[in-house]
């Protein structure tokens, strides 16, 4: 009995024995510690008082195992999540079993309850379950992220062979499978595994994503990622797309076991970046380099190694006149044509830039003064090829050559500009004269007229001007207006100007604009400025019903009133696409009828008086 008592007291598990009525008869030290009851207090007390248990989750009392044994006479174990409430109120997670005590004749004599503290185990189990749940959640999130991203991702296994790393594809996400066409109609999903063992240098897809070159390039980046143990990013182009790829090493025990590759299609971004870079250094109209690029090259130290360096500065003649006469669209065409001329005249490697509205600068590395003059002559020859154009391209040029390292390149640019401006002054009048002559020729061609019409108007207008006692300067202006009063018609579309029938309201509004166009042309040329107002007002009427301003009476400039009469007379005597010619007498009759309404009556009288019937009058 003593030996048995010693064994029971030494047990780590709690032990409580009861009689058949459920009263405690025996209790070891471990049971005392767990329940908080002393042996002396517990013996004779109901087991439910000493051993008070509840459900861990519901906190409700549970059926006592002793009661179950007493009822069923067989071994019973506690359900999971059972808590023992100690005497001091402490909650202890326990596991137990209860079994009947039988006598020699197998008759029940009592119950023995063995139980143990499993609080730590349950906490460990709870932590394990939490960890598993967290892992499953992370795994689901990883899977969702891996397959949900639009980036093409793959996992690369890293192995070593003869101390050298080898890289084989292990897994692709759905974006990679779709984007790179890893699967097509001939491949079942389970056959994708045949790609997994492929080395990055050997991997191919139906779209041939990776050839030998790309595969080798990717392998080299994988090697960098393996040895450096850091992220590696790179760009490459394949199948008409630009890809940005990031390699991320997965490190375990200081060794890279896997590499995660993430590739993003940046085709549109890459294209936008290229366009931005292009626009930052190029002129959008001509496609030439711009001032920013020129400044970059001028300050480039490498330019010092390319002496002699020549600089040509050019300024387009007549751009304002082209804009005023035909609109900025035609002015832009003149600039584009000028750019083409410079391209034809220059050599490969020469830097041609448009530095402003009508300014161009050419940087010529390793070019002597003699060779520079040849290029200038070539520019002029190219300009002459457009002699039949309405506005023939003309460029005032100035040049200089840097021969020594000590010369300031920016000072030389200024000197070239000064030479250009000096040449522009010398050539300007000639260029303007050439443009005006070209515009006059164009007007004649558009109106089916010749120089004879101009000559007749000048003769008729001067006759009236002489009778009015005009000064020599005023007669010169009248003579010039007679020649150029319709110069604005160069800006009127041919289908309106040459229309044989009546004009629509919209067409007539367009036709009326030739006065304003002619005014702008005259204002842009110092030689024509004195007659600009005359050009603008030569379609005004004496009664104020003319255009474009609706001026009346003597508010209309005198020279404009004279041209209105003589031009109407000459037009009536000569056939036009929209009318037949009439006789001299009929024309005089019409002038008299319109005197006081359309025409200044005094000018009509003087004109008739001045008219000594020349041979060409019918």
- Strand (E) or helix (H) holding 416: helix 409-446
Question: How many C-beta atoms lie closer than 10 Å to residue 424's C-beta?
Answer: 19
Same CATH topology for 149-269 and 447-610: the answer is no
| Statement: 149-269 belongs to CATH 3.40.50.2000 | no
For position 100, what pLDDT does the model report?
Answer: 87
Cα–Cα distance measured from residue 72 to residue 184, given in angstroms and rounded to the nearest whole number: 67
Q: What are phi and psi of 515, to 5 degrees?
A: -65, -45
With a cut of 90, say whether residue 551 has pLDDT above it: yes
For the chain, the average pLDDT equals: 85
- Burial of 135 from C-beta contacts in 10 A (0-12 / 13-18 / 19+): exposed
Q: Which two tokens stand for residue 230?
A: 């850091």
Cis bond upstream, residue 548 (ω within 30): yes
Range with the poorest average pLDDT among 55-64, 138-147, 538-547: 138-147
| Full strand arrangement of the beta sheet holding 395-402 | 351-354, 359-364, 309-316, 395-402
Question: How many C-beta atoms lie closer than 10 Å to residue 603's C-beta?
Answer: 22
With a cut of 50, say whether residue 392 has pLDDT above it: yes
The secondary structure of the chain in percent helix, strand, coil, rounded to multiples of 5, reads: 50, 20, 30
With a cut of 50, say whether residue 554 has pLDDT above it: yes
For position 612, what pLDDT does the model report?
Answer: 61
Percent of the chain's residues with pLDDT above 70: 88
With a cut of 90, say whether residue 337 has pLDDT above it: yes
Place of tokens 């590499």: 259
Q: What is the mean pLDDT of residues 76-104?
A: 83
CA 499 to each of CA 209, 514, 515, 576, 577: distance values in angstroms, whole numbers, following the listed order = 62, 16, 19, 10, 7
Task: Residue count of the chain, please give it.
Answer: 618
Q: Which two tokens stand for residue 132?
A: 């598993």
CATH fourth-level superfamily of 285-438 = Reverse transcriptase/Diguanylate cyclase domain (3.30.70.270)
- Confidence grade of residue 370 (pLDDT, cut at 50, 70, 90): very high
For position 4, what pLDDT does the model report?
Answer: 80
Range with the poorest average pLDDT among 167-176, 354-363, 605-614: 605-614
For position 196, what pLDDT does the model report?
Answer: 47
Four-way CATH pick for 2-117: 3.50.50.60, 3.30.450.20, 3.40.50.300, 3.40.50.2300: 3.30.450.20
In this structure, which long-range contacts are made by residues 375-381, counting pairs with CB atoms below 8 Å and at least 24 apart in sequence?
375/312, 375/345, 375/346, 375/347, 375/350, 376/312, 378/344, 378/345, 379/314, 379/341, 379/342, 379/345, 381/345
Helix residue ranges per DSSP H, 18-62: 29-35, 39-42, 47-50
DSSP string covering 457-471: HHHHHHHHHHHTT--
- pLDDT tens, residue by residue, 101-152: 887 777 888 888 888 888 888 888 888 888 888 877 877 777 777 777 888 8
Q: What is the mean pLDDT of residues 437-462?
A: 74
- Confidence grade of residue 195 (pLDDT, cut at 50, 70, 90): very low
Report whether 285 contacts 354 (CB < 8 A). Answer: yes
Longest dimension (CA), the chain: 168
With a cut of 80, say whether residue 450 has pLDDT above it: no
CA 468 to each of CA 78, 342, 556: distance values in angstroms, whole numbers, following the listed order = 135, 53, 16
For position 451, what pLDDT does the model report?
Answer: 63
Range with the poorest average pLDDT among 31-40, 81-90, 134-143, 554-563: 134-143
Q: Which of 82-91, 516-525, 569-578 has the highest mean pLDDT?
A: 82-91
Question: How many C-beta atoms lie closer than 10 Å to residue 533's C-beta?
Answer: 17
Cα–Cα distance measured from residue 309 to residue 296, given in angstroms and rounded to the nearest whole number: 15
Percent of the chain's residues with pLDDT above 90: 43
For position 429, what pLDDT does the model report?
Answer: 66
For position 182, what pLDDT does the model report?
Answer: 63
Pick from 340, 344, 341, 348: nearest CA to 366: 348
276 forms beta bridges with none
- Confidence grade of residue 209 (pLDDT, cut at 50, 70, 90): very low
Q: Which two tokens stand for residue 266?
A: 């940046």
Report whether 83 contacts 91 (CB < 8 A). Answer: yes
Three-state secondary-structure class, residue 576: strand
For position 193, what pLDDT does the model report?
Answer: 44
Q: What is the mean pLDDT of residues 15-39?
A: 91
With a cut of 50, say whether residue 290 has pLDDT above it: yes
The answer to whether the predicted template modeling score (pTM) of the entire model surpasses 0.75 is: no
108 forms beta bridges with 102
Range with the poorest average pLDDT among 20-24, 120-124, 296-300, 601-605: 120-124
Q: What is the mean pLDDT of residues 426-439?
A: 69
Q: Which two tokens stand for residue 560?
A: 């404009």
| Statement: 447-610 belongs to CATH 1.10.3210.10 | yes
- Please tell me which residue, 76 or 249, carries the higher pLDDT value: 249
Pick from 534, 320, 341: nearest CA to 432: 320
For position 618, what pLDDT does the model report?
Answer: 44
- Confidence grade of residue 187 (pLDDT, cut at 50, 70, 90): very low
For position 494, what pLDDT does the model report?
Answer: 82
For position 317, what pLDDT does the model report?
Answer: 87
Q: What is the mean pLDDT of residues 24-28?
A: 91
CA 424 to each of CA 264, 313, 383, 403, 420: distance values in angstroms, whole numbers, following the listed order = 55, 11, 16, 26, 6
How far out from the chain centre does Cα 286 lie?
Answer: 20
- Please tell me which residue, 337 or 612, carries the higher pLDDT value: 337
- Strand (E) or helix (H) holding 171: strand 164-172
Q: Which two tokens stand for residue 218?
A: 């990717």
Extents of the domains making up the chain? 2-117, 149-269, 285-438, 447-610
Q: What is the mean pLDDT of residues 570-588?
A: 83
- Please tell me which residue, 443 or 556, carries the higher pLDDT value: 556
DSSP string covering 475-533: HHHHHHHHHHTTGGGGGS-HHHHT-SSPPPHHHHHHHHTHHHHHHHHHHTSTTTGGGHH
Report whether 79 contacts 62 (CB < 8 A). Answer: yes
With a cut of 80, say whether residue 210 has pLDDT above it: no
Pick from 251, 264, 232, 258: nearest CA to 170: 258
For position 313, what pLDDT does the model report?
Answer: 96
With a cut of 70, say whether residue 563 has pLDDT above it: yes
């Amino acid at each position: 009995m003593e030996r048995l008592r010693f064994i029971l007291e030494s047990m780590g598990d709690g032990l409580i024995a009861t009689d058949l009525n459920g009263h405690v008869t025996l209790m070891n030290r471990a049971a005392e510690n767990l329940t908080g009851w002393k042996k002396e207090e517990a013996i004779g007390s109901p087991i439910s008082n000493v051993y008070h248990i509840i459900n861990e989750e519901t906190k409700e009392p549970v059926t006592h195992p002793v009661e179950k044994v007493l009822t069923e006479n067989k071994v019973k174990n506690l359900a999971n999540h059972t808590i023992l409430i100690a005497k001091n109120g402490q909650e202890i997670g326990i596991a137990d079993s209860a079994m009947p005590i039988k006598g020699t004749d197998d008759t029940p004599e009592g119950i023995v309850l063995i139980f143990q503290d499993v609080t730590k185990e349950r906490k460990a189990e709870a932590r394990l379950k939490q960890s598993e749940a967290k892992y499953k959640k992370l795994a689901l999130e990883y899977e969702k992220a891996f397959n949900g991203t639009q980036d093409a991702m793959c996992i690369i296994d890293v192995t070593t062979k003869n101390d050298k790393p080898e890289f084989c594809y292990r897994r692709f996400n759905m974006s990679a499978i779709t984007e790179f066409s890893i699967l097509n109609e001939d491949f079942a999903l389970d056959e994708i595994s045949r790609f997994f063992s492929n080395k990055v240098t050997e991997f191919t897809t139906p779209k041939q994503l990776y050839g030998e070159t790309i595969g080798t390039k990717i392998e080299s980046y994988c090697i960098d990622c393996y040895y450096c143990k850091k992220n590696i990013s790179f760009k490459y182009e394949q199948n008409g797309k630009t890809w940005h790829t990031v390699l991320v090493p997965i490190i375990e025990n200081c060794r890279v076991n896997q590499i995660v590759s993430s590739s993003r299609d940046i085709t549109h971004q890459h294209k936008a970046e290229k366009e931005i870079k292009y626009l930052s250094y190029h002129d959008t109209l001509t496609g030439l380099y711009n001032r920013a690029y020129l400044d970059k090259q001028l300050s480039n130290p490498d330019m010092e190694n390319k002496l002699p360096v020549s600089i040509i500065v050019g300024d387009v003649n007549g751009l304002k006149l082209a804009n005023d006469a035909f609109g900025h669209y035609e002015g832009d065409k003149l600039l584009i044509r000028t750019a083409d001329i410079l391209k034809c005249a220059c050599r490969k490697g020469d830097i041609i830039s448009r530095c402003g509205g009508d300014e161009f600068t050419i940087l010529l590395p390793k070019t002597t003064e003699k060779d520079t003059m040849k290029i200038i002559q070539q520019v002029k020859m190219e300009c002459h090829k457009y002699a039949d154009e309405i506005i023939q391209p003309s460029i005032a040029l100035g040049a200089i050559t840097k021969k020594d390292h000590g010369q300031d390149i920016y000072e030389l640019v200024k000197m070239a500009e000064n030479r250009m401006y000096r040449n522009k002054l010398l050539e300007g009048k000639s260029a303007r004269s050439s443009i005006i002559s070209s515009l006059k020729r164009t007007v004649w061609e558009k109106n089916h007229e010749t120089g004879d019409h101009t000559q007749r108007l000048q003769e008729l207008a001067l006759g009236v001007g002489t009778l009015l006692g005009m000064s020599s300067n005023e007669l010169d202006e009248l003579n010039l207006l007679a020649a150029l009063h319709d110069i604005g018609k160069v800006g009127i579309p041919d289908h309106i100007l040459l229309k044989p029938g009546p004009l629509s309201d919209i067409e007539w509004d367009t036709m009326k604009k030739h006065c304003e166009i002619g005014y702008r042309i005259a204002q842009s040329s110092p030689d024509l400025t004195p007659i600009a107002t005359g050009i603008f007002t030569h379609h005004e009427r004496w009664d104020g019903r003319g255009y474009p301003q609706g001026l009346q009476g003597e508010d209309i400039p005198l020279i404009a009133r004279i041209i209105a009469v003589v031009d109407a007379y000459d037009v009536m005597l000569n056939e036009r696409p929209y009318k037949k010619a009439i006789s001299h007498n009929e024309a005089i009759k019409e002038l008299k009828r319109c005197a006081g309404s359309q025409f200044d009556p005094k000018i009509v009288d003087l004109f008739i008086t001045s008219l000594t019937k020349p041979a060409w009058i019918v």
